Structure 1
């Protein structure tokens, strides 16, 4: 067996030297299709489609890492979509309502449109200070910001024409430049930005955070509103091509339950974004029905596509402070319930080639419980219970999600108590993954350890692969080359993420979508393509074992 493995390894080395090295100047791992290592009597699984789709797999770029790492994150709410309960100072005395529209209407009536424009621009510019960014990077170890914006924040009269914000379009002429400036400042510190279309025309739900106090969700049943929503997505995707390096585009926030034509509209937006830049992750609201969103995602995130298509991520939210059912629970009961969340994913991951890919982020959560729940604490100190609740959420989401975004960071009443990312992070209730706190020296030491162990880990992985199939069926087609190719790509990918590429190193948190990306790029379409996927996943696992992640 050892002789065979050495011979197969030598064959692959020779092929890599003839094609592209594992670390060539162009950043390739290797051309994805090459003569396969072969067991005696084995028949290759070459197909015309394999060769027709042959591509080169390149090393992860800084933008790849920014988009696919684990998003230990927060929201920056009530900056470009105002909510009075978070920032009452942004509303003049006598303002009627609690939404963005209520605020801008009241200010224009009070001081005029030009003065309101200047006021809003000053507020946007000063919303996030350099001190804020340093805290997010160095203390909270924040990787990404979910930034709620409104359709009215996009440039040009077309985005507000025929909407309640049309009379105030002048106020928002500088909004998008302000957003771009904020994204650039954050990106300088390796923080990515997920653009969240929090306020859609007409409202994806009936709440104030949809931009108005209408109390109605009029987006879904209006063809003109939906068409404007698609144009918003097109603009964001086209703008991203100019170098804004966004982490993703969220199409809607907290879409109402069973919204009419929701998935039809998602399809339109995904097509529009993909036509501009199919590398941009697209985030959809689950509309409070995670199972339905998972089924949609599995169908959409298929390996077999005829043209480039953006990967789809599901956004779900977890709160325990709004329903009568939650009011009946004690803090201890709620904390124990955290571990049951995201079980809808069970059995849906691990085989992109068979099922498609599903990836979930928790776009909003908090440490807030109702006073009814706190009354059932049975004498346990509140601070202790908040700590247990927050850490349970951190642990669960890091285990099962591609990222988690606390609601929220900025409010007038900083540090925000149980709604505040700063307060909960400073108290150790919300904690980053352990690897995010590694020093540069420790990270460098682990990188060198992983590189030293790489060849031995690969030999062991291939031996296990061959031994397994020897036990199952000694005559089975093992496609050793596909498996080993996948392992090498996976190990090197995970190492690149951990080490960092001109951005903060991290874990591949969006694992299922990363596997989908690599499967599409590999060009493999034959019957044994799953071996490349399993090798890929094993290589990633082995890197994590090497660095104790």
Structure 2
């Protein structure tokens, strides 16, 4: 073992390790791992095409965007659904969508009174006590916030849409949304902005904003262009100072085989990237997850021709709507949960070779059909609900970058099997275990990670050098890239776990969107050539070694 380590050490001595003494002010630890430039003047092999590195310590917004998110959907606040908020509909309203509620109220009480009613709904539904519960009891790190194009408070974005006559009602909607994002951010909670309702409807359901019963969005060039203007506006608003946005979702539950959908995705991603290429863009899988995986791998290449925002797939899991699911028992469904996201098998782990693919579960619940419950046998419904929720929590934490329960807010709290409050309180769904570590324990765990850092690095480098030099003797590897990557990965995981207490990022964080984080680090490294894979594997190993060191 010592002989192999000497060999690794000799290889690594070919470069100077320029360590930055960049300990953060007010950091709870004076001494913590630091980044290495991985460069040496005059070290030529493999570096003639490398570019200067732009890697720096993870920022507060980096942590908010790339940590694993245990979250919930806000619910029917900025895009109404009658089944969730019947109080926002007149009794004689003819439909169940946002547009029908607006029409009915304006007809009854006038546009100014309707505006006041909706503003009260937006501004009062989430109290300070609610946010405290969300952070301290539910241990949420983010919410998914469904909005409509009509909520952007831009009359020019409503032209020739059904909402044009009601632009006045939405004059302060965007300001309300911004305020909510800011309030959540102050409690270390990020916000995924979800363009839930697009003009014309990306699907035929009421949550597209109307009761038209048809999906007209993708077939309309006018609506497609309008939506790109919406994305451009939101991206610029985020760039100009909305703090706490973890990503922008382009569309919710697009219909299967939607017309030219991926072409539209390309346009949106290009537009957003031209404004802020660091903003994660979330796409709907349109119920075809495998196709979305292939698209994501191509978009998330290590070396794009121009700066491109990371792309993340949103997929939803429900067992309450199809005849096939009605035929299953709760026990069968619980077993099935553990097979979900298997389309990612063999697609992760090598951004250099394949590109990056990252998925989140934007919606899930603990709801099953009565047909399924009738097949439960002697096991109580309450026990099975808990098993279903726990199976989902575990599977999403294992395979996804985030999971958002449907839903949080409704007239009929705590919401039963649809309710985030109910299923949190009964223990059916739970946060990532790392987020329950007492803050007082974080410091000692970080000290432990510091103490064993060098030993773990030596072991990792030694194993890497030994394996590859044995596998392919006399191959001119560039193992120094692995060591550089290891240091970056270990430091990244360290800072995610340490948090930024003075900037409202709580400690205990864990890199959850690992594939797109590794993609980010590869792009920032400036490394080129045939051995960048060593840097990538070093980053991954460094993250793993830190997590092993602190037991998460």
CA distance in 1, matches of 2:490, 2:257: 41
**Displacement of 1:106 after TM fit?**
0.6
Which of 529, 540, 548 is the aligned partner of 2:543? 540
Partner residue, 1:504: 506
Q: How does the TM-score come out when normalised to structure 2? A: 0.95
Kindly provide the CA deviation profile for residues 372-409 of structure 1, in whole angstroms up to 9, marking residues without a partner as x: 00000012100100111100000000000000000000
**Displacement of 1:6 after TM fit?**
4.6
CA contact (8 A) 1:31 1:56 kept: no
- Answer yes or no: is 1:288 the counterpart of 2:287: yes
- Answer yes or no: is 1:261 the counterpart of 2:260: yes
Which stretches in structure 2 are left out of the alignment for 5+ residues? 26-32
**Displacement of 1:308 after TM fit?**
1.1
Determine helix, strand or coil for the equivalent of 2:307. coil
**Displacement of 1:296 after TM fit?**
0.2
CA contact (8 A) 1:32 1:54 kept: no
Partner residue, 1:163: 161
Aligned residues: 537
Partner residue, 2:176: 178
CA distance change for structure 1 residues 6 and 47 in 2, over 3 Å: closer, same or farther? closer
**Displacement of 1:275 after TM fit?**
0.6
CA distance in 2, matches of 1:143, 1:318: 20
**Displacement of 1:34 after TM fit?**
3.5
Determine helix, strand or coil for the equivalent of 2:241. helix
CA contact (8 A) 2:283 2:313 kept: yes
Kindly provide the CA deviation profile for residues 244-266 of structure 1, in whole angstroms up to 9, marking residues without a partner as x: 12110000000000000100000
- Answer yes or no: is 1:31 the counterpart of 2:37: yes
**Displacement of 1:495 after TM fit?**
0.7
Partner residue, 1:486: 485
Kindly provide the CA deviation profile for residues 428-452 of structure 1, in whole angstroms up to 9, marking residues without a partner as x: 0001111110001112211111011
CA distance in 1, matches of 2:351, 2:159: 43
CA distance in 2, matches of 1:243, 1:160: 24
Which of 489, 497, 515 is the aligned partner of 2:518? 515
Determine helix, strand or coil for the equivalent of 2:55. strand
**Displacement of 1:470 after TM fit?**
3.0
CA distance in 2, matches of 1:225, 1:6: 60
CA distance change for structure 1 residues 377 and 32 in 2, over 3 Å: closer, same or farther? same
CA distance in 1, matches of 2:491, 2:477: 22
Matches within 5 A, 1:397-416: 397-416=396-415
Partner residue, 2:428: 429
CA distance change for structure 1 residues 156 and 112 in 2, over 3 Å: closer, same or farther? same
Partner residue, 1:362: 361
Matches within 5 A, 1:344-493: 344-493=343-492
Q: How does the TM-score come out when normalised to structure 1? A: 0.95
**Displacement of 1:45 after TM fit?**
2.1
CA distance in 2, matches of 1:151, 1:356: 32
- Answer yes or no: is 1:225 the counterpart of 2:223: yes
CA contact (8 A) 1:32 1:523 kept: no
Partner residue, 2:30: none
CA distance in 2, matches of 1:35, 1:483: 19
- Answer yes or no: is 1:342 the counterpart of 2:341: yes
Determine helix, strand or coil for the equivalent of 2:81. coil
Kindly provide the CA deviation profile for residues 188-238 of structure 1, in whole angstroms up to 9, marking residues without a partner as x: 000000000000000000000000000010000000000000001000100
Q: CA RMSD in A?
A: 1.6
CA distance in 1, matches of 2:479, 2:344: 30
CA distance in 2, matches of 1:359, 1:471: 33
Kindly provide the CA deviation profile for residues 112-165 of structure 1, in whole angstroms up to 9, marking residues without a partner as x: 001111111111100101111011001110010100000000122111111000
Determine helix, strand or coil for the equivalent of 1:56. coil
Determine helix, strand or coil for the equivalent of 2:83. coil
CA contact (8 A) 1:44 1:477 kept: no
- Answer yes or no: is 1:85 the counterpart of 2:87: no
**Displacement of 1:3 after TM fit?**
4.0
**Displacement of 1:15 after TM fit?**
3.7
Determine helix, strand or coil for the equivalent of 2:240. helix
CA distance change for structure 1 residues 395 and 365 in 2, over 3 Å: closer, same or farther? same
CA contact (8 A) 2:17 2:37 kept: no
Partner residue, 1:40: none
Which stretches in structure 1 are left out of the alignment for 5+ residues? 38-42
**Displacement of 1:242 after TM fit?**
2.0
CA distance in 1, matches of 2:490, 2:34: 14
CA contact (8 A) 2:393 2:431 kept: yes
CA contact (8 A) 1:36 1:479 kept: no
CA distance change for structure 1 residues 205 and 36 in 2, over 3 Å: closer, same or farther? farther
Determine helix, strand or coil for the equivalent of 1:444. helix
Partner residue, 2:18: 16
CA distance in 2, matches of 1:35, 1:475: 25
Matches within 5 A, 1:234-245: 234-245=232-243
CA distance in 2, matches of 1:430, 1:536: 31
